[in-house]
A and B are shown apart, each in its own frame.
Chain A
């Protein structure tokens, strides 16, 4: 009996202390870093965090650029998806390992501000960026590509694609749409936002209720949804406006197209930024400059399947065959941050 109780006590103690380490480690102490000016000195390394799907081409481009120009070694770590990337950055915020993070989407800006993860930097060559893409006034982040979230359709299965939001509610699309869950997939999230932008905070629920019979299923991620779509399960799917370009470029087929209503679509902008307290601040600035340069931007279409922010970059033919002039629709990021949970619940209720 004594042995058992002693061991139980030991056990509780161990668990308690190990948990404390966890808490303590994660909690840390918020300190202030050296001034930016003091950190802007030559160093021989640069640490970059990005998401898993960043193309190897871009990684090599960055590495060789830094090696050749400055003799700097770049450590580029690909950390899961955007959410994981944020979590990692967040948890290291008191003693950051990364100097630059590439790959948040603009909706992260309110949180980046709140958690004070980034420090501002205005790229020297920023005049090259289309002004509507400069998502922050103070250059907390710098955009590096963008795209649109739309419905995509299979022209072989659908002779008469939806022409407008209202047309989408038509009976001929019954069980025809593959939706992505806004809670777990970023295109899904942006499509929900698009509907809110269109129908307003008060009207979107009604729209989704009406749309419900036309939705075949909701998938957790883009992969499942798009897989089902290309397998012919349903002729309509939420995806990127640039998805058809992939099929045109690599499969030589114009079968898959995107449906744009009123020449407007929800815009997604991807950004990069310098981590607050970055040790290699100078190299970090150089990387931001490089990312917006034409040399880097040229690679964006075929590696990211997004649009480059650099106006001088010529789009490949497969991109030009798509919808050339789409007006980007966006909601205010702070508004999203504040209301998204509620919208999500409302959306779920509408589909239930």
Chain B
């Protein structure tokens, strides 16, 4: 290939036939879609019938890398997974830290496309262009940590990279995740789709290398990064010292925007008990990092005393402190650490699980469910025993765990009684700990995001930092579009979004300057922005084919109708007319039909996606 950072081929793996084939990655394709997000959405749009169920044999799981995996670029020690989500029914991607991304490159591939369904539990062992379908009967039912260890043992390599699902994935919990080491491709149920394919794990090692296009310019960029990173407090001090839990004080206390008691309030009175400062002081064991990342924002924490003494986990991150903590009314960090580690081990997303529990707690307190439904357990806010106990039961779909495995939207439809109003989700995906009421950009962002309630499209960081006025309606559509373009490029390079503090919350020349020395694309900012829009339009087109329209671009009724009742952000929310006003502006700027939210043919053609426009028309969708 003319460009660097690529191996020039993607491996298609069919679990039904146990056959593989390679798909060539051309220079043109690489330049048009970059990698990760861009590659995956193009392949999935072409390969997956979006009307089919996520657990259908025809669904595809993409495991992708971008040009930055395997080199020492800071924050690129990641890998990217995408599929049609069993939670949202739409295109869904999940990015995780892990050296397996680099190993995919070293093994000679830019990514894998996994199709079909194995007849028996299987794991994949990929080594330098050789693929083995190995039996995984004895791994079936095992937790994610033990699964990884057993595979490392079987292969005889303690340094082997393994991504595995837990029992939650096997049992098709709709928010089952994929775990590599201790990090999760957490959201949207990629693990459940792997479970439906009877694929327990993917192990990869390669003896190859990855290189950059212009080593001198790359070194110059690395020197620039090191100097500039020292000047950004978040990257230089906040994240290395406390990790993301530092946000508990700034969001929970200062802003009063940390959802609590299933968002009945956003000011958690006992915020100090679950703060990053307390975690660091009383629970910290050591810093850990994603590969090649000097920030090392991850931490191992353990409970040294108290009810949950002995609980140990890499994490919890801020989102988990929100979901298992303030949302469930739990202020014991020991319980949150225990819950974090159990969710990882059983293989499910901590955010959705915690929000699911808090939803049930509210339903219980409102009398919509009773002890009869909960196997006699008092499902009240603050009950940490219930939160912990139901992780395993959800993974095994036991008792009410069977309903919890479906996520809050589907559970609300079963429970009824108007509970859908307080199911804290968008398009089926539970909302994380960044307020849709206190941050106007997140209100519009969650509504329009391909994934639904995800804090990665768009990002809240710019509004926290004051780069965009969090209360403003004017200009918010342009801001949200800008941050979504940035995260899409981040996910295509498969780089961490924390780079935003350094390179810009929206795409800037600094992003271009990072990409060109590695790839040799010679992008301009204009071309990079077009790539981002092309990828986002493809995601939207995929979702449009599943039936998603403007009517689905909305928020939970609670957020539209109830302002934050107390604290520093008291009175704030985005009501329906305001959201509609922002949406009108958003679609107009995007070049999407304002009535339907479908990308217009004119826009698709401008993005070089004429075939996509034709496909929509063929599917009976006017664009």
The answer to whether A and B assemble together is no
Which residues of A are at the interface with B, using a C-beta cutoff of 8 A?
none
Which residues of B are at the interface with A, using a C-beta cutoff of 8 A?
none
